[in-house]
Every structure is written in C-alpha cells, then in structure tokens.
Structure 1
Amino acid sequence: MKHINSMLVLCLLVTFNFACKQNAETNNSTDLAVKTEVKKDPNGFSYEVINNDPTGLRLYTLENGLQVYLSKNTDEPKIQTYIAVRAGSNYDPSNSTGLAHYLEHMLFKGTDKIGTTDWEKEQEYIKQISDLYEAHRAETDEAKKLEIYKKIDEVSLEASNYSVANEYDKMVSGMGATGTNAHTWFEETVYKNKIPTNELNKWLSLESERFSKLVLRLFHTELEAVFEEFNRSQDNDGRKMYTAMLDGLFPNHPYGQQQTIGTAAHLKNPSLVDINNYFDKYYVPNNMAMVLVGDIDFEKTIKDVNDTFGKLKNKEVTHPTLPKEDPITSPVVKEVFGPTSERISIAYRSDGINSEDEKFVTLADMILANGEAGLMDLNLNQQQLVQRAGSSTMFLNDYGLQQLSGSPKEGQSLDEVKDLLFTQIDKLKKGEFDDWLIDAVVNDLKLSQTRQYENSTALASAYYNAFIHHQKWEDQVKFLDELKAISKEELVAFANRFYQENYVVVYKRKGEDSSIVKVENPGITPVNLNRDKSSQYLSDFQKIEAEALVPKFVDYKTAIKEKDLDSGVKVSYINNESNDLFNLNIIFDMGTDNDKKLSLAVGFLEYIGTETMSAEDIKKEFYKLGINYYVVSRDDVSYIGLSGLKENLPKGLALLEDLINNPKSDPEAYAKYVDKILKGRQDGKTQKSNILWNGLVNYGQYGENSRLRNIIKASELKAQDPQELVDIVKGIKDYKQRIFYYGKDVDQAVAALNKEHKLNTPLKEYPEATSYIEKETGGQVYFADYDMVQSEMVFLAKGGEFNAKNLAATSLFNAYFGSGLSSIVFQEIRESKSLAYSAFSRYSTASKKEDSNYVMAYIGTQANKMEQAVDAMMSLMSDMPEADKQFEAAKDAALKKIAAERITKANIFWEYEGLKKLGIENDNREEMYNTIQNMTISDLRDFFNENIKGENYNVMVVGNKKDIDFTALKKLGEVNEMDVDYLFNYETTDKVKL
C-alpha cells in the first residue's frame, strides 16, 4: 500500500516535502451531497462544519482573518498545533532567494520581549548589524567585504551580551512540548508543536507574542548554520535530482527557479531589511491559519485563541503574480552526477490543486503503482525486471506533477529502465488493467485516510495543507467519491491526452559533480549564550500556573487480554475502539540470529505463488480485499502478519495460510531475486548514511564478528537450492509461537485462526541463536572515503550493562545535555560557535537486559571545521557544564512529557514487548516520574561522572579523503581507512593503516 511520503529533510527547522500522495486529503463518505453549514457557538463565534465529515472539523475565521481549524481527539491529553503562513520560497525576492527559509529559522530567536536582557541596548547593536549587512551586500570588492564581515562578527559578539539563546525552546519544552520544529516550502512556512492540553493557554500567549514582532537576533551564527545546510544539501543526490526535475518542468516559475534553501550568492549576501519586509508583508493574521487537533473544548479554545491571536492586526496581502509556463512539446533531458547508485525519473507537469487534473493524475498514479497491485508493481517489481520502480505525485497551487522513477538491475542501462517505465504508461493508455482496479484503488485510499484521521498529527497536517492550497474542506470530504465516479473509459481518454512527449527525464549517473558550489567558513567568534540569564518575559511566563496533568500508567497484565486457540497457542488481544481496521501478528521469538537463511527465505516468498495461484494473482486478491500481508524476519523475532478491513480478515487469513502452507519454488524467480539482493548490496555501498550508521558504527561496536558481516556470500546465494528456502517458509509454523490481535470482534479472529491456522503439535523449540560480542571501545578511528562536501562523525563508547534504575537519569540527562534546541550540546556547538549544522549526544540504553549501554555523539560539519568541532564536543563530554535554570527546565519538561503521555491501542502490547526484553514487567514510567521529581543537578553530575566522563571512544568518520585533516584525526586514536566491501563483508579486502 502506498502512503504519503516525504524526502529531502533540509534541516532541523525546515523540511522539503516530496511527492505527497493526495490520499491524505480524502474521506470515506459515500454521499456526494456533501454540504457546508455555518453554525454559531454559545459565545457567538461562527464556524463552518461539513456533513459526513469523519474528522469533525470546526473551521472558525476570526475578525482579523485568522482561520482556526479545530478537531477533537481524546486519545491522549495533547494537542497537535500548527501555525501555517501562506509564505514560502515562491515569494522570495529574486535577489534574496532563501529568505523565507532563514526567516523561519529566526522566528525561534525571540522578540523584543523574549530572548533579551536589555532590549533598549540590544536593538542598537541589531540596527548596526543590519546596516553593516546592507553595506556588505552592496560592496563588490572582496577584501572590503571581508572587513565588513569582520565588523559584523565584532558587533554581533557585543550584541550577544544582551541576548539569551533559545528562550523560546526553553518555554515550549518546559511545557512538555514535543516535535518543536518548522518547515518552509514553495507556498508555506509552518510552525509545529505538540503540547499537553493543560498548557494551551500558555502556548497561545507565547505564540501570539512570537508572531507579533520579528527580531533578527544572533543572525550571523544562524546564517552560518544555513550555510552548513546548503553544503549538506549538495551531498544529497536525491535532492539534486529533484531540483533538476523541477528546473525542467518549470523553466520560468519559481517552482523550478527558486530553491527553498536559496543560492550560494544570496546566502553570502543577505539583507536583514528584506527579511523584515517579508515578515511585515506576509506574517499577518489574514494570511495565516492555526490548526489545533487533540483533547480540546471547542468553545473555550476558540475564545482563548481570539483573546490572544485576535489582537494581531491584519493588513491587505497581495501575493506576486507568478509566471505561466508554456506547454512542454518535446522531452526535456537532464543529467545529475554524484556518488550514489544510478536511477532515472520521468516527470509530467499537470494543473495544480483543485483542478480536474488532480483527480485524474491521482487515480492514474495509483493504477500505475500502489505498492501492491499496480501495473508497475506487478509487471516490473514483481517480475523483477528492474531493481525497483515507483510513481508519485505532487500538487501545488499553480501546477502539479507526476513522477515515475526506476533503478536499474545489474547490467541494465537507464534507458532500458526508461523504456520499461513507458511500457506501463502505454498499458494505462490502452486500458490494459483490470476493471476492478479503480474501485480497489479508491478503497485503498479510504484505508489510508482512515488511518490518517485517527492520528492527530496526520489530520492536523491535512488541515494546514488545505489552508495553504486554498482548498475548501468540503471538497476534501467528497474527493474520493469524485475519484470513484471516474470511469475506466474517462481515465484512459485522459491518459492518452496527458502522457505525450511532454515530459522531463532526469538521469542520475555515478560520477563527480562539477556543479558543486561550496559556501566557505567565514570565521565566527563564538557568541555568548548567557545560560544563567533570562528575559523578564521568561521569568513572568514561568510563574504562570497551569492545572497539572495527572500521569496515567498502564497495567499491562490487565490491559492485554488473552484467549487460547484450539491448538493451545495463546492469542493476546486489545480491542480497537476507533474503527473497523485490524492487525494480526503471529510472532516467533526467533530470527536471523537463529537461522540466517530465514530472512532470505521469507523475502523469496514475495516472488512466488502456490500450486493454484501465481504471485501476481495473490497480490491482486489481497488488494481486492483491502488487506496487507507480510512475512518478515528480524534479528531475534519473526512475524507473519495481516492488516486491513476487519470484515475481510477470514478471507485474508485463508489466502495467507495457503501461501505459507503451499509455496511453489520458482528457480527463475530465485535467480532474479539473487541478482536483486546483490545489486541492492552494491547500491547500499553508495549511500553515505548506510556506510556510516551501518557499516562503520557496527564495526566500531562489534569489530569483525557482527550481524552486519555475518551474511550469506554471493557464491552461497547463487548455490542455494530455492526449494530449501520454500521448505523453511513452510516449516516456520512448526515452531513455538504466540499471536497478537488488535481489532474488533476477537471471537471472529479466533474462529478464523482455529479454522485456517492449523499446526503440527507439539511445536518445536527454536534453534540456538548466534551471539555477537560487543568489543571494548577506545583508541580507534575508522574512516571511509566518500565524495561529499561535509563530513560526518560518530563517537561511540561502550558503557555498563543495562540498569533499570538509571532510566530516569538517562532520560533527564539526554534532555538537558544532548538533544533539542536548548540542550547543552546544541547550544555550544551550533548556537554559540557555529561549528556544525547538526550535533547531538545521548546516553543510549540497551534494548535487551544482557546488552550494554552506549555513550554516543554525532557531528555533521565542514571538513575545515572538524578539529574545532571535535575539540568542542570532547570538552563537553569531559566536563558537563552546569546551568541550574536549564536543568530545572529540562526536569519540568521530562515530568510534563510523562504526565501527558498515554500508551494506548496496539502500542500497549508493543511497549510491553520492549519492556520484557529489559526484564521489566510493569509500566516503569511511574518509577521514572517519581525519581525525576526528586533529582537535583548534583544527581545529574554524578550520573555524568559515572557514565559519561572519561569514556574511551571509537570514532567513525565518513568524508572526502582529500579534505580530511588526518593529523587532527590521529589525535583521537589510530586511524584505519576501511574498505566498504570489507565493512559489509562483501569481499575480504583488508583495512589499511594510515
């Protein structure tokens, strides 16, 4: 099943969404007569509601034009909040691209009240800095520009004497907020928090102040973070493909001509005047929306919103008229180069949101690729004619697009993949797809929508998207019914009009990228953080009392109920009170540690059928039923599972049992499967995140004896008898097992299991598991060469064995020290010194009681900052800075997060599964909560001294060999250049000492 997807995470505060499936914007009503009604609440506020709306939206519009989307979800005492502004990179001045994005960053820096100890003095310096940036921008002589920048750095240091870093984050984290973030895209900037219900009034007060005035405080250090982000983006081949595709589709429109991150030239020459003008123009209530989804009281909430945000002044907003694109009349060809594996994309331009194109392209996209029974799924992926292929859509205000993508098999050219993608388009144009597929696709979208609407964050996202794209929610409610009304003949006719020689093809080839533009380190004097100071606003804010939430803990033994099958196998179950979807898992407490062929065998099952049904027919039948099946094997556990519509559980289970009991070996499919595995290994070697977090980190933790390296070699794969794998699949049911069911009508599920899930008893014990010994860390640097602009480092130290009594201190330490915008590490390395775009540290607890904990730190930075960044991180890891106010804020945040957390639905079972592996039989959050309440900063210091200070680190580094300062690395230990094949045990190449 295909779900909403996103790509290109640009930074902590900005996300570049990619290829969003419009199934997120639909509903399961069957009544086309959907209507909007206007009602009035007891306080006199008017709001819109839509009949047959499963989300229960109330849409208010305040007198100043602010639109307020409210919906109730009482699963937990939390509210997902979004503040959305119709202001994105489309509206950047052509000489200030990237402006909307770094404005987004600056809204975390405070106002004339938040983040300052003396605004009267501070604003004088900020005015000087603004004037200096204007002079810097106008100056053409590079030497003089450098002198001006040095003056900016000097004045910025003086200004920092009056600023307090991250006060906004201190306040929201002190409320117990999670997910504090923001993103910028073409037509939007969206600010995010998930807050405890009882903190709503405080949040509204804070946010109304935040959006009342822009102060460009600590600008040059934040701009340096954006420089880092720009450099980081150039290491992302997917992002480069995306940019090239948009450039081809939109040669005139900002969609293709103005990247959200901006150009290097504009980033180097910002204008604070332009940023302030942009804020004043677009950040006004009649160009904004607030979305609140969660445990709310409608009448009280809208009154409180009006009392705060209703005071903001509106003004007329005029968005610029953007260029129109001429039709594409012949293929546009683009090439992108980089170190990752080759792939290709073909993109077609469509009309935008609210158009007829949106409906037809959405439907065509799902007919082509829905993850199960689409044309590309069955004809290309199932047949293993390519390494992988897919299709996705994106719809924006002015235009939309559909993108087909494909990766080649070993020895296959990109043009051969392109031709195969076109064959599926041709099948669509000829109507060569099953008549039932349109109805099945709409049902699939309904399933996705049902899952989305029970999640407050996903639903809130749908609301803000509707606002940004000027969509009436009424149209969203009836969107699926309009899709269902499209006939096969109409879709085929559309396909023949739409898919012409009007596409953009992007070839991603392996090779050096000559277009890289590096933004150099300008040299920044660390600014003052003033941790122990606070603004008057913060002091007053912290005095505001909110009614405390009472934490609720789970009694797992009563929350998880049990029944027995006729075979004696236990079925644990939890009732689904929300909808008619179910999830059924048959669980085996064995995995690839017990038999490394197990994963190979269950993966092969994807490509084979039974004596009576082909693999393609099985996929189709499951898709018709609205059921997903999966058979997966992990390190120490395996699952046979089903999920989907409860009413079809018996039929789905019968299909799955037939597949497990009667798989038919297919040597030809197995040969292709082996080729796919081996090509996947080669492709994985080109991904720097895989090299760092899998290859290097595993080696740093285990050395040569690791799960990662205990693989089935290529020669063994090729020599493997596929019938043995089929026998492994058939035999898995003979082992000890247990079952978890989440859904309604457990008796129906038990009856279906008794009928279909026949077992040979007594059940077998599991094979003995292979053990992997964690090695002692310290004194070793493992380096992998990779063609990249930045460098990335992980520090890893083996700690003590898991101890449940340390969980409270671990949680508090991580919040205070290593993660989040107001953590010690983030403030020191990014906020003060601008040494890294991304930096964090954490004390990582084991997932099993017999395993070790680890101390971990990460830095992603330019190679020429590496030595400084390492020194800064190691200094922090050696001597924990103590800030009483920051500690108290972290403590309050930890307590409030526990108080607002609710473990519900199927998560009750899965949380308990994790706890049992640690030897914990109860909800340990109660003990953590009570412990944290009594902790002092001296307790945290003791935890640091016992578990962090003085640890010996292995250091894993991935970067460009020609840029790395190996002299600096040798200070950390013996440097070993690691061959990537050796890391993953694909070959026996030895590591090389440097």
Structure 2
Amino acid sequence: MKHLNFVVVFILVAFVYSCKKSNKETPTPVKTETITDANGFSYETVNNDPTGLRLYTLDNGLKVYLSKNTDEPTIQTYIAVRAGSNYDPKESTGLAHYLEHMVFKGTHKIGTLDWEKEKVYLDSISQLYEQHRAEQDPDKKRALYKKIDEVSLAASQFSVANEYDKMTSSLGATGTNAHTWFEETVYKNKIPANELSKWLALEEERFSTLVLRLFHTELEAVFEEYNRGQDNDFRKSYAAMLSDLFPKHPYGQQKTIGTAEHLKNPSLVDINNYFDKYYVPNNMAMVLVGDLDFDKTIQEVNATFGNLEKKEVVHPELPKEEPLSGIIESEVFGPTSERVTIAFRSQGVNTKEEQLVTLCDMILANGNAGLIDLNLNQKQIVQNAGCSPTFLNDYGYHSFNGSPKEGQSLEEVKDLLLSQIEKLKKGEFEDWMIEAVVNDLKKSQLQQYENSTALATAYFNAFIHRENWADKVAFLDELKSITKQEVVDFANSFYQNNYVVTYKRKGEDKSIVKVSNPGITPVNLNRDKASEYMTNFNAIKSEELKPVFIDYKTEIKETTTDNGLKVSYVENKTNDLFNMNIIFDMGSDHNKQLDLAVGYLEYLGTDKLSAEDLKKEFYKLGIDYSVNAGPEKTYVGLSGLKENLPKGLELLEQLWTNAKPDQEAYEKYVKAISKDRQNNKTNKASILRGGLLNYAKYGENSRLRNIIPITELELITPQELVDLAKDLRNYKQRIFYYGKDVDAAVAALNTHHNVFGELKDYPEAKVYTEQETGGNVFFVDFDMVQSEMMFLAKGDPFKPENMAASTLFNTYFGSGLSSIVFQEIRESKSLAYSAWASYATARDKDDSNYVMAYMGTQANKMPQAVEAMMNLMSDMPEAEDQFNAAKEATLKKIAAQRITKANIFWNYERLQKLGIDNDNREEMYNTIQNMTLEDLKTFFNTNIKGEKYNVMVIGNKKDVDFKSLEKLGKVKEMDVDYLFNYQKPTDIKI
C-alpha cells in the first residue's frame, strides 16, 4: 500500500466504504471555531475533526497543538521551528543543521560545572574560528585549528557531556532526536505522561540560550554524517534532481548538510545570529499528542514557554523560478544499482495543484491498481517502478522512478514511465478510480494516524507549511469532488516536456570529497560530575507512573471455525479496520521453494480473473491481501474495512484455489529474482548486515545462503509452484483476527475458507548451527568514503533471567545518546557518527545470545576507533550517577509501555518462541529495581568481557589500514557472490 508522505489529511472516522456510491455527495462544511476555556485560554477547534485538535496561540506567539490519545500513558512531543537550510547564509550552508546538533549541548546552566570560567574559553574558541575562517594560508589554518583543539580541551574541564540526553533519558523518554530540512528544524521526544512538567522546564531552559560547547568534536561528527551522504547514491541522485528542478531556489542550490568547504570553515558568530533570529516563540510550535489534560497542559506550557521573548521575524525573500523549458538531463555515478528519476515541478502546499497532483499520483501508482502498478510492475515490464509527490512551501514536485530489468536501459525505463503518464492524459483509467483512491487514502489515515506519533507529525507539518487545520480536514472531500475530466485536463497541461531526468548509473563518482583526519584530542566527558541544574532537576519528583502488565491468556480470546481451525482474536476498539492472518508454522526452512511459490502468486490470475483484474477488484473493495513465507512461518493475510472482509476473503480464496500457471510470467519472475540478486550485491547495508553478519554467525551453512540457484529456478515448472501454493491450505494452520465482530469474521471463514480432512503435519525444518566466534576479520571491498564495522561474539544460550540485566546494560552502555559507547567514541573522540553496542537476546529459546557492536567511521580513523571500542568492550567504565539515571530510565520506559491492539497477539507469539508464556516485563521490572552498579559490572564481566569477536568490515580497500585489522584476527577478503551464494552473472544463461 502506498501512503502519502507529504500531504497530511486526517479524517479519522469510520466511513461507509463503497465504490458504488456517487462521488457527488455534498460534504459537510468544515469550519474553525474559537473557544475560551475556564482559565481564559483561547483555542481553535475544527468541527468534524475526530483528531480533536486544540490549537492555542500564546501571547508571545507560540503555537501549541494539543490532542488527546489514551492508548498509553505517553505524550509524543515535537518542538518545531520555521527555520531550515533554505535560510542558511550563502557563505555558511549547513548552518541550520549543525545548529540543530548544538541545541543538544546545553546552556549556561545545563552542561557546565562553572559557567563563568567555561565562557572565557568558549569566547576564545569563537574568536579562533573567525580567524580560522578568514585565514587563507594552509599552514596557518592548521596551526589555528590546533589551537582550537587545545583550547577546546581546556574548556572541556568545565563541561559535562550529554547532560540534556541524560536528563531526557532519566524521564524515560524515547526517540530523543531532531531533524533539519528545507523549511524546518524539529526536536523530538516521546515522554511518559507523568513527566510532562519536568520535560517542559527542561525544554524552556534549552531553548532560552544557545551555548556552543564541545563544538569542534560535534562538527567532526557532522563531517562523518556528510561522508555517509557521499556513500548514499540515493541521496546524491536526489540532490542532482533538485538542483536541476530548482536552479535558483535553495531547494536545489543549498543542501541541508552543507558543502564540505563551509563545514571546514564554520562561524560560531553566524550560528548564534541564526539562533537569535529564528529560535523565537512566534516562529515556533509545540506539539503534544497523548495522554494529557487539555486545561492543565496549556497552563503548564504557558508557565514555561510563555516566558520566551517574542521578536520580530523576517524570513528572507527566496528566489523565484522561471518555468522549466524543455527536458533537463543529468547523470550521477556510484556503486549501487541503476535507476532513473523523472520529476515535474509543481506549485507548493495550499494550492489546487496539490490536490490534482495528489489524485494523479494515486491513479498512476497506489501500490495495487494504478497504471504503473498494473502495466509495469504487475506485468514485470521493469524491475520496479513508482511515483510520489512532495509539496513544500514555495514549490513541489512529482517524481517518478524506475529500475531496469537485466539488459534494459535506463532510457527505456524512462520511456515506459512516460508512457503511463500518456495513458493518464488520455483518460485511460476507469471511472471508479477517483472514488477508490479517496477511499484508499481514508483507509490509510485510519491505519496510519491512530497513533500519537503519526498524528503529531501531521500537526507540525501543518505548522511548518502554514496550513489551516480546517483545510486538512476538508482535503479528502475536496479531492472527491474533482471529476475525471478535470484530472485529464490537468494532466495534459501539467505533464508536458518540461521535466528533469536524473540517471543513476553504476560507475566511479569523481566528485567525492576526501576528508583528512584532523587529529582531535579527546575532550573530557566528566561523566561522574553534574551541573547544578541537573542536580536540582534530578531531585524533582514526579507523580509515580505504575506499570501495567498483561495477561495474554485472557486478552487473547479463542474460538474455532466449523472445520475446527483455531481462531485467536483481539477486538479492535478504535475503528472499523480489520487484519486477518492464516498462519502456517512452516516456511522456507521446511521447503525452500515455498517462498518462491507464494511470491509467484502475485503475478497470477484465476480461471475467471486476470492478475490485473484481480488487483482492481481488491482495490475497489479497499482490501489488501498478502502471502508471505518467512524462514519459519507463512502468513496468508487480508486487511481493510471490516464490512468488506467476506468479499475480500472470497477473492483471496478464488486466487488460492484457482490460480492458473503462466509460463511467461514465471520466466519474467526468475529474471527479476536474478536481477534482484545482482542489485543486492551493490547495497552495502545488505552486504554488511546480511551477507557478512550471517557468515560471521553461521559460516557457509546459513539461511541467507540456502537459496535456489538461478539455473535450478529455470528448471522448475510454474505448475509445480502453483501446486505447492495450493497444497499449503492442506497443512495445519491457525488464524489470528484483529477487528470488530469476530462472529462475522468466523462466518466468512466458514463460508469461504474450506479445508477438508485431516490436515498434514509440517516437514522437518533445516537446522542452522551457530559457529563459535573469534579471531576472524571478514572484509568486503566497496567503493565508499566511510568504512563500517560490526563486532560479533557468540554468548551463552538464552536464559530468561538475563533479560533484565541485558536491558539495563544496553541502556547504560551501548544504546542512546547518553550511553557510554556513544559518549566515548563520538562525543569525546569524534571517531564516528554512529556507534553502538548491545547484548542481543536470542529470538528462540534454543539459540544463543550475542554481543554486538557497530561503528561507521572514516577509514583513516579506523585504527583509533577500533582501539576505543575494544577498550570499552574489555573494561566497562563505571559511573554511579549515570547508572542510576539509566536504571531510572529503563524502569520508566517499562512503566509507560502498554501492549495493545494486535501487538498483544504478536508479542505473545515472540515470547512463546523463547519458552515464556507470561508477560515477563513484570519480572524484569522487579529485578531491575533491585540492581546495583556492581550487579551490572558482574553481568559485564560474565557475559561481555573477554569475549572473542568475529569482525565484519566493509570499506574501500585502497583506504583501509589492514595492519590494524590484523590485530583483531586473520583477515579474509570475501567475495560477495560467495557470501550470498549467488551464481556469477557469467554463469547464468537467461
């Protein structure tokens, strides 16, 4: 299912879904009303808005979006600033982004041990950076940087790293982060509801003052992020597309990450000026969605953020674009698989074009029955293709992308994409499509926006784009009023020969910027110390939030079908959507052709309906179906609106029992698998986290390598696969239903899902033996700027009693911004943008636990990074205050967690694999309450210290220091085809 990621429209109501209804219904007028509460606070509300938004505006101009969601005792928080890379000074691109990083570093109260003494050093550092920026002589520039490094070390004796992160962690916050884009910078936390007061006080202080401490180490982390972008071919082709679409506007001319030259020559003066100009309440919004009391919450927000000073804000006038004339083409090179992108520039948000492009996009590709879906993907004319629109404040764009089959050129894919646009322009889509699209969007809203995070995201987007919420509520009804002729007329005027084509080709990227290792002296973390602010903050006690544990055996109810199939069910109390899965406890481990067979069903029709017609019928009903075979289980699933379950199940059963083999479709299917395998070899994430990790864990005998060679796939007949898929229904099976009216669901199963006789037992599953680890370094050569490493040590077999200690250990030591690993490797030494370590719990009671760690760093920093990580994994630093904060954070996260809805069933499934039949969080919670730092040290010494690691490395062979790798074990360069057990392309005759 394709979901819009740019237009946020929320009519979260249970609607009557039928494509037979007229699309000429008169929508209920949507109006905004202003209400004053008992305490004198005024807010805007929109009639017919089931999200229940209350939009306040404080006296200082701060917008406050509040909505109530009681699914769990948490609040999703966003603080949004209308300031992004569009407003970066020309000479300081990337400024908004690294300012975002610095807002985490504290204030004159947070993160300092002696502000007056620290300030002297920080002022000196700022002056040195101005001199460094102005200096042209390379030797003098290096000398100035060395001086910056020296003064920064001296300044760090008065600072405490990550105090903000420690305090949010102590609240039990999750998802602590931020992002910067063209027009926005947004700061994120999800907090337990009882911690709202403390969080507001902390955020008021954070946004009151900017202090640029520990700047040069953080800037080096931003450089590592820049390098990750250079290693991301998708980002590079996206940037090239924008550059051609917007030759004048910052959308195309100023990357959010900035240029390498500007990152090397920052101005702390410019950063402070930017903060002072844009980080003011009348240019900001606070979004709170969750378990809150409206009246109390707005009073608390006003008592804190109401203190921020309002200032006049003038955003710069940005360049206007001339209409595109003709077709603009560009090329981007890199090691990953090839793809082509076509983009048409549009008007921005709050325009009629937003509505029309949205409709055109969904008619062309909705994941099911769009023109591209049916004519290109379903018929396997290309490897894959799709489209999506984006709408920003000044402009937008509708982009199309496609990947070629083997032997197909990017130019051919481009022409095929354009051919589908031509069909749209000719009106070659069915009359029911517009209403089906609108209903699909409504269904997507019900699925996507019933959770607090998604809804809060919608609100901050509305603020950034200056959208009236009433317009968002009315958006879908307005779409529904658009006629087919209007769509066709618009398509003919909009999709002309005025577009941008970006070819992503395989090859060397000669624009890569190589960055030297600046040789930063590790700064002091002072993790055993705390500012006066943090000491006082930690002393504040919030109302205790009690954990709620679940009795799975009462929450998951059971019934049976007429033919004896067990149906487990959980009631959907939120809306009229359902999800049904027929579960087979066997998968590709039992028969490696099973995944192949169920995948082939995607391209088949029946004796009555073609594959394309079948997709259309499902789309008319608003029902999605899926058939997926994993290693251990196979799922046949349906989801959508409850009232259409019977018709959807009838269609699915028609396919399942009457699928017709198609030789041509199978031949294309095999070619697509072959091309997918070749493409997979160009994906560094797949190589590291797939190929190398599986080899390090299992050696040659792994699931990843247990595949059918292409030459054998060619010998399988389509009838064999159809028979295998049909025979699936004759095996033992069980059903899970999440929705309303289980009796109606069971009645539909009784009518349409008929199984006969005694069901067959599953065949024996293939066993994969975990190998002992240690002394091996597995390396893959890849054209990239960074190098990425993973460390893997096989631990003891799974023990339920270790789960509490491992959870606390991961919080304290290896995961999150305030963890030991992150502080040491990134904050102190600037050796990586991303670094983590964890004690990973097995997924099956018969498997082992593993110690794992990861770093992504410049190749020339690798020796230092490896040494830093190995030192940490050998001797856990002990910090009593940090341990207590980690312990408190872990307990609060468990207390705020609620297992609800369909997750009740799926969590129980996961626990049963571990041999656990109860909510083990209760035992973990009680255990963690009594744990001490000494207990954690004992856990470390028993389970982590002295472990023997297999090390996985992917990087550019020309840059990697192999002598440093040899200290970790015997280095073995791996062939990627061998890792995945693929045949060489030259060995495949297709």
TM-score of the superposed pair, with normalisation by structure 2: 0.98
User: Is 1:382 the equivalent of 2:367?
Assistant: no
Residue number in structure 1 paired with 2:627: 631
**How far 1:24 sits from its partner (Å)?**
5.0
User: Is 1:78 the equivalent of 2:67?
Assistant: no
**466, 474, 478: which is aligned to 1:478?**
474
Matches within 5 A, 1:761-840: 761-840=757-836
Residue 849 of structure 1 aligns with an amino acid whose one-letter code is K
Report SS of the residue matched to 1:935: coil
Residue 591 of structure 1 aligns with an amino acid whose one-letter code is G
CA contact (8 A) 1:253 1:324 kept: yes
Residue number in structure 2 paired with 1:170: 166
Residue number in structure 2 paired with 1:225: 221
**How far 1:21 sits from its partner (Å)?**
4.1
Residue number in structure 2 paired with 1:94: 90
Matches within 5 A, 1:216-615: 216-615=212-611
CA contact (8 A) 1:26 1:445 kept: no
Deviation readout 1:73-118 (Å, 9 max, x if unpaired): 0000000000000000000000000000000000100000000000
**How far 1:987 sits from its partner (Å)?**
3.2
Residue 276 of structure 1 aligns with an amino acid whose one-letter code is N
**How far 1:179 sits from its partner (Å)?**
0.4
Report SS of the residue matched to 1:180: strand
Residue number in structure 2 paired with 1:141: 137
Residue number in structure 2 paired with 1:697: 693
Report SS of the residue matched to 1:322: coil
Deviation readout 1:390-435 (Å, 9 max, x if unpaired): 0011100000000000000000000110110010000000000011
Distance 2:628 2:83 in 1: 44
User: Is 1:736 the equivalent of 2:732?
Assistant: yes
Residue number in structure 2 paired with 1:9: none
Q: Structure 2 unaligned runs (5+)?
A: 16-25, 986-990
Matches within 5 A, 1:831-910: 831-910=827-906
Distance 1:464 1:645 in 2: 29
Deviation readout 1:841-895 (Å, 9 max, x if unpaired): 0000000000011000001000000011000000000000000000000000000
Report SS of the residue matched to 1:976: strand
Deviation readout 1:913-934 (Å, 9 max, x if unpaired): 0000000000000000000000
Residue number in structure 1 paired with 2:651: 655
Residue number in structure 1 paired with 2:119: 123
**How far 1:27 sits from its partner (Å)?**
5.7
Distance 1:778 1:171 in 2: 38
**939, 942, 947: which is aligned to 1:943?**
939
Residue number in structure 2 paired with 1:3: 3
Distance 1:804 1:204 in 2: 38
Deviation readout 1:358-405 (Å, 9 max, x if unpaired): 000011000000000000000000000000000011100000000000
* CA distance 1:988–1:372, change in 2 (3 Å): closer
Deviation readout 1:627-677 (Å, 9 max, x if unpaired): 100000001001000000001000000000111111100000000000000
**How far 1:231 sits from its partner (Å)?**
1.1
Report SS of the residue matched to 1:478: helix
Distance 2:416 2:830 in 1: 48
Residue number in structure 2 paired with 1:752: 748
CA contact (8 A) 1:24 1:452 kept: no
Deviation readout 1:708-762 (Å, 9 max, x if unpaired): 1110001111011110100011010111111000000000000000110100221
CA contact (8 A) 1:23 1:445 kept: no
Distance 2:448 2:646 in 1: 25
Residue number in structure 1 paired with 2:980: 984
**How far 1:22 sits from its partner (Å)?**
2.1
CA contact (8 A) 2:9 2:476 kept: no
Distance 1:683 1:88 in 2: 35
Residue 298 of structure 1 aligns with an amino acid whose one-letter code is F
User: Is 1:714 the equivalent of 2:710?
Assistant: yes
CA contact (8 A) 1:38 1:47 kept: yes
Distance 1:852 1:610 in 2: 45
Distance 1:532 1:793 in 2: 29
CA contact (8 A) 2:332 2:503 kept: yes
Matches within 5 A, 1:31-110: 31-110=27-106
Residue 445 of structure 2 aligns with an amino acid whose one-letter code is Q
Residue number in structure 2 paired with 1:22: 7
Distance 1:500 1:402 in 2: 13
Deviation readout 1:118-150 (Å, 9 max, x if unpaired): 000001100000000000000010110000000
Deviation readout 1:304-348 (Å, 9 max, x if unpaired): 000000000000000000000000010010100000011100000
Residue number in structure 1 paired with 2:18: none
Report SS of the residue matched to 2:91: coil
CA contact (8 A) 1:117 1:164 kept: yes
**How far 1:522 sits from its partner (Å)?**
1.3
Distance 1:438 1:720 in 2: 41
CA contact (8 A) 1:791 1:861 kept: yes
Aligned pairs, how many?
A: 974
Residue number in structure 2 paired with 1:208: 204
**955, 962, 967: which is aligned to 2:951?**
955
Residue 581 of structure 1 aligns with an amino acid whose one-letter code is L
Query: In percent, how many aligned pairs have the same letter?
Result: 72
Distance 2:743 2:215 in 1: 62
TM-score of the superposed pair, with normalisation by structure 1: 0.97
Residue 588 of structure 1 aligns with an amino acid whose one-letter code is F
Deviation readout 1:934-985 (Å, 9 max, x if unpaired): 0000100010011000000000000001101111111111111100000011
Residue 546 of structure 1 aligns with an amino acid whose one-letter code is S
**How far 1:519 sits from its partner (Å)?**
2.6
**How far 1:521 sits from its partner (Å)?**
1.8
**178, 183, 188: which is aligned to 1:187?**
183
**How far 1:449 sits from its partner (Å)?**
0.9
CA contact (8 A) 1:285 1:312 kept: yes
**How far 1:69 sits from its partner (Å)?**
0.3
Residue 2 of structure 1 aligns with an amino acid whose one-letter code is K
Distance 2:337 2:945 in 1: 41
**How far 1:451 sits from its partner (Å)?**
1.7
Distance 1:235 1:329 in 2: 32
Residue 164 of structure 1 aligns with an amino acid whose one-letter code is V
CA contact (8 A) 1:27 1:478 kept: no
**How far 1:531 sits from its partner (Å)?**
0.4
Distance 1:545 1:367 in 2: 54
CA contact (8 A) 2:8 2:458 kept: no
Report SS of the residue matched to 1:849: coil
Tell me which moved more, 447-456 or 761-770: 447-456
Deviation readout 1:239-258 (Å, 9 max, x if unpaired): 00100000000000000000
Residue number in structure 2 paired with 1:666: 662
4+ runs of 1 displaced by more than 6 Å? none
**How far 1:26 sits from its partner (Å)?**
5.9
Distance 1:975 1:147 in 2: 38
Residue number in structure 1 paired with 2:988: none
CA contact (8 A) 2:10 2:449 kept: no
**How far 1:988 sits from its partner (Å)?**
7.9
